[in-house]
């Protein structure tokens, strides 16, 4: 990846930091490492088409623009892994060793979701031109929508209030450090580190595929991002193929 030449944009309110970042890409204004932070999102994006509620100025809503042209388009999990590791690095500084990465790229504390990641890509022909990594982190929020299954914030964990802008800048740096490692270190080493932080590794979990719910043991994640499991036989699942039931 190219050297960091980043700017850090701070917004009071926006529909989605990913939308704002994508617009700058389409307008030809993007540089690798540029970041967009907003105190409030009206239409934040989550995985599987869900919304990510950013709270009223109390959480991190951050999008980082990345130039992944040196990565293979056939291996998008490499970038996802790097962003997940960077988010884990950041959160564990404050939340400690009970932090983990839930496949493919949520950040958990104990059995509760602290952060989520959504990566959107711009592809031209066979070239992976740009990626926008949207990261939402629960920071100062203490009351959540009851429809959310298991959220947790840094304030709930630590009892402290935080400056979200300063934390967002730290998160941005952690993500840039990890994406830079994709060109500096063998991917196998990064994958081993990701596996070492994997939520519920070697434990039994309940998954749902179509209308069928079943239990498996989480064994790890493949180099291409499939969840590796075992029940009677070893199986692998793509992201979106199964839903994790807590």
Domain boundaries, the chain: 8-196, 204-245
157: left (phi over 0), alpha (psi -120 to 50) or beta: alpha
Averaged pLDDT for residues 123-140: 94
Flag whether pLDDT at 62 surpasses 60.
Answer: yes
- Higher pLDDT: 9 or 44? It is 9
Flag whether pLDDT at 125 surpasses 70.
Answer: yes
Averaged pLDDT for residues 78-99: 98
The per-residue b/e assignment along 116-135, b for 16 or more CB within 10 angstroms, e otherwise, is bbbbbeeeeeeebebbbbbb
pLDDT tens for each residue of 161-178: 999 999 999 999 999 999
CATH topology of domain 8-196: BirA Bifunctional Protein; domain 2 (3.30.930)
Q: What is the pLDDT of residue 126?
A: 85
Report the predicted TM-score, pTM, of the whole model to 2 decimal places: 0.93
Percent of the chain predicted with pLDDT > 70: 91
Query: What gap in Å lies between CA 177 and CA 175, rounded to an integer?
Result: 5
Query: What gap in Å lies between CA 46 and CA 44, rounded to an integer?
Result: 7
Q: Which two tokens stand for residue 95?
A: 């939340």
Q: What is the pLDDT of residue 48?
A: 46
Flag whether pLDDT at 54 surpasses 60.
Answer: no
Per DSSP, 47 falls in state: G
Query: Minimum mean pLDDT among 46-50, 69-73, 221-225: which range?
Result: 46-50
- Which of 18, 46, 54, 45 minimizes the C-alpha distance to 34? 18
pLDDT tens for each residue of 200-216: 999 999 999 999 999 99
């Amino acid at each position: 990846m190219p050297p960091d030449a980043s700017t850090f944009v701070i917004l009071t309110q926006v529909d989605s930091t990913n939308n704002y970042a994508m617009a700058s890409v389409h307008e030809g204004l993007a540089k690798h490492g540029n970041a967009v932070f907003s105190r409030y999102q009206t239409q934040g994006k989550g995985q599987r088409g869900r919304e990510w509620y950013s709270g009223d100025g109390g959480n991190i809503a951050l999008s980082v623009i990345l130039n992944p042209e040196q990565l293979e388009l056939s291996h998008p999990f490499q970038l996802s892994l790097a962003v997940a590791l960077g988010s884990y690095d950041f959160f564990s500084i404050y939340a400690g060793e009970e932090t983990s990465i839930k496949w493919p790229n949520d950040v958990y504390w104990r059995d509760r979701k602290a952060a989520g990641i959504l990566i959107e890509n711009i592809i031209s022909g066979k070239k992976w031109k740009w990626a926008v990594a949207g990261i939402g982190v629960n920071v100062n929020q203490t009351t959540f929508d009851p429809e959310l299954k298991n959220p947790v914030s840094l304030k709930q964990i630590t009892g402290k209030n935080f400056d979200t802008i300063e934390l967002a800048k730290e998160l941005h740096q952690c993500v840039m450090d990890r994406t830079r490692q994709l060109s500096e270190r063998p991917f196998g080493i990064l994958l081993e580190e990701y596996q070492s932080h994997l939520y519920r590794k070697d434990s039994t979990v309940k998954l749902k595929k179509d209308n069928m719910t079943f239990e498996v043991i989480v064994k790890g994640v493949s180099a291409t991002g499939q969840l590796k499991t075992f029940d009677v036989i070893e199986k692998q699942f793509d992201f979106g193929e199964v839903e994790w039931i807590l």
